[in-house]
Chains A and B, each alone.
Chain A
């Protein structure tokens, strides 16, 4: 049916990615580089790290970093209370952070967007029920909710991801829903329906692309949130199982040796900061360059 309709043609599709990359602001580039760097470190951890993350050198406990007077070149950032190389542990910790960030954000996005589509597209009682659940969920500090979920689920990386998904899907749902409601009233959506598109096809082909930029932005921001929540949970001792290296675990371990080896704490803190900064800068930059309404307004101003 739809082949018969020759609408106005957009630019060729294959250039879309290229054009998106070209329109990225410097802020988004900084963010993208930081995130890609973290992904690279996570993948290449065994080659980058000078030591195994759990290798203990009991003769070299609590070493200062290599640039201080009695530092050791073998341990660039020094060692912790068990003689483990802080740099290696930080590098391996990137793995948990990246895995949790990507999968938790994906899960939260899928759940949130599906709910938002249903609520925004169908409206009526579907919207009311979903809206009530979201309100109920959001009437509660997310940290507390994820703690409660972790008690129920038990520790482990998969459960951390699950907990973050179950807590944070509401962010996606609330924001995307209000956009879906706006898009749904557009004439081209009505036109698609008149052409005989079913509900699902309309949602998939007409509405989803329109709210796509928003979803991508929320996704990158959510990655940063997931990194923080994972760090918090592993800091409290509720995230990864014993033996897994995560930044939050490093922070918790280093608290006993704060006066002797402050670098054991500062290194993971700095890692968390950099990765979250990357996600936030990318998300913020994307929002500015992908949101046409915002772009128009900026142009008007400038």
Chain B
């Protein structure tokens, strides 16, 4: 079989389609078959049974489940995810507004996480098997026990309350009223050449992004460290050492290259984890992203919105996995077809 990067990308994307359909089916059944009542939130307590039935018919909730799913799927393929009960707005519009916020947060956090993890992993590797090897080991175990949302709360207590140096609510101060260009706040303020707004948005980004990054770090450190150890046992390392190549050069030029491959795959696999944590971080820091949207939808049983957001999460995961697999083929010459 031909394995050029492009075919891999297409293959992965195609394989994602049945996953997405199945996923939406599962979510659909879970949301509708289990005892929750979306009408309860929309009707006044004084509503009569007839009124409830009328509303149920108007929303299409009285039809059999498979008919409902078929209608939903047909519309979703046409780019229409329905109408939110809660916001009285199109789900697609709501998501389009919230998605860039989350993506920006997650990407900034990923960069910070990589910047922190790589030195830490190299440090842990360099002490592996030595007497002080327990130090980085302990750091990683302790860090692993602090998920992103606890970091967020700690940061708020530390830098928001005890030493109030950084803002911890919202994406940007309330004094700025900026037109939306891309939806990415940092990018928008840059495009508008609005220096103070950019600095303010950046200040608002520091705490949530760092919290998210610190929650992600231990995973990256662990995998990279064990990949480095694994790679250092390969025969070519011994050969290089016997030929007198300096240890630092072996580490940076020989070992690291091979350790990076599995690490990249792991980061891709765990990317979903990052989006999941971002959900909590958004609530804690009042970011109007897709996580906040999801939680408010969940709290008010807004079925179309929950369904829409979960599908968007699913699409994101499929895309990320496809890109990671492609990247893997691009980076690893052994997998390519000659």
B-contacting residues of A (Cβ < 8 Å)? Answer: 27, 135-136, 139-144, 147-154, 224, 228, 232, 235-238, 251, 258-259, 262, 265-266, 269, 272-273, 276-277, 279-281, 284, 301-302
Contacts and interface: CB of A to CB of B under 8 A. Distances in A.
A153 B161 contact: no
Tell me what chain B mostly uses at the interface: helix, strand, loop, or mixed: helix
Interface in B301-338: 301, 306, 309-310, 313-314, 317-318, 321
Question: Looking at B22, B145, B147, B310, which has the most chain A CB atoms within 10 Å of its CB?
Answer: B145
Contacts of B141: 27, 277, 280-281, 284
Contacts of A136: 19, 22-23, 26
A139 B150 contact: no
15 contacts: A27-B138, A139-B321, A140-B310, A142-B272, A143-B276, A148-B298, A152-B31, A152-B34, A228-B147, A236-B283, A236-B299, A258-B156, A259-B161, A269-B157, A281-B145
A272 B277 CA distance: 16
Contacts of A224: 145
A140 B314 contact: yes
A258 B161 contact: yes
A47 B162 CA distance: 34
Given A152-B36, A269-B153, A269-B154, A141 B142 contact: no
Contacts of A269: 150, 153-154, 157
A75 to B, nearest CB: 19
Nearest to B309: A144
A144 B310 contact: yes
Contact of A149 (B30, B154, B318): B30
Question: Looking at A147, A238, A301, which has the most chain B CB atoms within 10 Å of its CB?
Answer: A147
B272 A148 contact: no
A135 B269 CA distance: 11
A151 B23 contact: no
B146 interface: yes
A272 B150 contact: yes
Given A144-B294, A277-B145, 20 more contacts: A136-B26, A139-B19, A139-B314, A139-B321, A140-B310, A140-B313, A141-B313, A142-B276, A143-B280, A148-B298, A150-B298, A151-B301, A152-B31, A152-B36, A154-B35, A232-B280, A269-B150, A273-B145, A277-B142, A279-B145
Contact of A238 (B275, B298, B309): B298
A273 B146 contact: yes
B150 A147 contact: no
Contacts of A153: 34
A284 B140 CA distance: 11
Nearest to A143: B276
4 nearest interchain CB pairs?
Answer: A141-B276, A152-B34, A143-B276, A277-B145
B235 interface: no
A233 to B, nearest CB: 10
Contacts of B294: 144, 147
Interface residues of B, number: 50
B279 interface: yes
Question: Looking at B34, B275, B276, B294, which has the most chain A CB atoms within 10 Å of its CB?
Answer: B276
B276 A148 contact: no
A129 to B, nearest CB: 12
Question: Looking at B19, B154, B156, B272, which has the most chain A CB atoms within 10 Å of its CB?
Answer: B272
A259 to B, nearest CB: 6
A90 to B, nearest CB: 15
A251 B153 contact: yes
Given A273-B145, A273-B150, A237 B34 contact: no
Nearest to B160: A258
A269 B306 CA distance: 29
A302 to B, nearest CB: 7
Interface in B280-297: 280, 283, 294-295
Contacts of A279: 145
Question: Looking at A135, A136, A141, A149, which has the most chain B CB atoms within 10 Å of its CB?
Answer: A141
Contacts of B156: 258
A144 B137 CA distance: 30
Contacts of B36: 151-152, 154
A147 B36 CA distance: 13
B103 to A, nearest CB: 14
B144 interface: yes
A284 B144 CA distance: 11
Contacts of B147: 228, 232, 276
A228 B153 CA distance: 14
A276 to B, nearest CB: 4
Contacts of B23: 136, 139-140
Contacts of A258: 156-157, 160-161
